[in-house]
Amino acid sequence: MAEALLETEGLTRRFGALAAVDGVTLRVERGTVHAIIGPNGAGKSTLLNLLSGELRASSGRVRFRGEDVTRAPPDVLSRKGIGRSYQTANVFPELTCAESVWLAAHSRNAGRLFQPRRDGADTAAREEDALRACGLSGRRLSRAAELSYGEQRQLEVAMMLATDPELLLVDEPLAGLGHDEARMVLALLREVAQQRTLVLIEHDMDAVFAVAQTVTVLVNGRVLESGPPAAIRASPRVREAYLGEEEP
């Protein structure tokens, strides 16, 4: 069995009486794409918020590289190597693409408060690589607010890549994108997945089954099934859960 990069054990998050994530146990293997699917309201984004430290777990454990990080805040998790992108573009509207990606790259030096503007070739190279990989080299000096929605999603991914994460938590990267933009982002995710580990939430089942090695199905905050795409596609329980939704 491959080495686990991220593991959860009985992870639970309650909002009052509602358990949005209820006893989720996951094992994400290093170097794989692990997709999390489920109907709307299944708790997928809440689970990602727990993994990125933006929400505190009510109970359960999260381990990253074997270390317990259940109570770690988002900045600590980011510096440990967990990157995050969002369901809707979460950028800095007043900053240019270059400034936004530079901030992300510079965060690896954020242990020191005061530093010169150009802090080493590594930061500049990460900034440049991330912009190029996401097709934004020509938009370096455009403000995020001036970008199309699709470009803002590309900028999201570029910022995430510039932090050089080992594990990427990617929330619906294709949502709201046109056909061409979606193809480009999908190709980018495939490329990224060759060197890193991805936890992917996506409603586009074709995309999920094309890139994922493992698929976990969440329903009502609980794991319904988890396994290789072919097994998930064939599972009667999954088909039943998706009645009224798109068939996987």
Partner 1 sequence: MSLPQGVRAGLLVGAVALALVPLSGDRFWVQFAGKLMITCIYAVSLDLLVGYAGLVSLGHSAFFGLSAYLLAGLANGLGLVSPLATLPLCLAFAGLAALLIGWLSLRATGVYFVMVTLAFGQMLYYLFSESPGLGGSDGVSILQRPRLAVLGRTILDLGDRTAAYAAIWVALVLSFLLLRRVVQAPFGHVLTAIRINEGRMRTLGYGTGRYKLAAFVLGGVLAGLAGYLDATLYGFVNPAQFGWRQSGLVLVTVLLGGKGTLYGPALGAALLSVLEHFAERATEHWSAVVGAAVIAVVLFLPRGVAGLLEGSRG
Residues of this chain that bind partner 1 (CB under 8 A): 52, 54, 73-76, 78-79, 83-84, 90-95, 99-100, 102-104, 106-108, 110, 113-117, 119, 143, 159, 163
Contact yes or no for 216/26 (Cβ under 8 A): yes
Task: Identify which of 158, 166, 164 has the alpha carbon closest to the alpha carbon of residue 28.
Answer: 166
Q: What's phi and psi for 72, nearest 5 deg?
A: -75, 140
Residues belonging to the chain: 248
Cβ proximity to partner 1, 110 vs 230, nearer residue: 110
Tokens standing for 134? 């996401």
Least distance in Å: CB of 66 to partner 1?
A: 21
Least distance in Å: CB of 152 to partner 1?
A: 12
Cβ proximity to partner 1, 103 vs 184, nearer residue: 103
Cβ proximity to partner 1, 54 vs 225, nearer residue: 54
Tokens standing for 170? 């990617």
Contact yes or no for 193/185 (Cβ under 8 A): no
Cβ proximity to partner 1, 80 vs 222, nearer residue: 80
Least distance in Å: CB of 239 to partner 1?
A: 35
Q: What's phi and psi for 27, nearest 5 deg?
A: -140, 115
Cβ proximity to partner 1, 13 vs 84, nearer residue: 84
Least distance in Å: CB of 206 to partner 1?
A: 28
Round to whole Å and give the CA distance between 240 and 1. 30
Least distance in Å: CB of 121 to partner 1?
A: 16
Round to whole Å and give the CA distance between 110 and 103. 10
